[in-house]
Amino acid sequence: MKDAIIEPQSNNKFILIAGDFIVLLLFVLVGRGSHSMSADIPAIMMTAAPFLFGWFVITPWFGLFNADVSLNWRALLPRLIIGWAIGGALALVLRTLLLGRPVPAGIIPSFAVAAMGFSTLFMLIWRLGYLWWMRRS
């Protein structure tokens, strides 16, 4: 039986998906740590779930896992920001529902601004670092 050949494009998608997942988990870890909250895996996953859902449901529609977007900063930046604005809004609504709060009154504006700002910053750093590394090789 012949060995399966992994296409570079599919390998890059795997790296992007894994990296995005890790970055969102790091964002949650930093956030929970800054509020002296527990860092146990169930709590981290419960906090991260709405953000992971929002990211991985919305951003593929903006081509963020395609090489022509992920390796071109001019294509990447606006799509990442707009895609995450939509995905992040979905995440905030889901988080509010998971906490049993009413929407939109249960979305705390200061939390929304901080969560969206820092998660976007984390993702931009990761994605621009990925772009730089891939173009370098």
Tell me: the pLDDT tens digits for 89-132?
999 999 999 999 999 999 999 999 999 999 999 999 999 999 99
Distance, in Å, from the CA atom of 89 to the CA atom of 50, rounded to the nearest integer, reads 10
Q: What is the pLDDT of residues 10-64, one digit of tens each?
A: 579 999 999 999 999 999 999 888 777 777 899 899 999 999 999 999 999 999 9
Q: What is the pTM of this model?
A: 0.87
Distance, in Å, from the CA atom of 106 to the CA atom of 121, rounded to the nearest integer, reads 24
For 82, the 3-state DSSP assignment is helix
Q: Which two tokens stand for residue 98?
A: 């998971």
Distance, in Å, from the CA atom of 34 to the CA atom of 54, rounded to the nearest integer, reads 23
For 105, the 3-state DSSP assignment is coil
Residue 21 contacts residue 11 (beta carbons within 8 Å): no
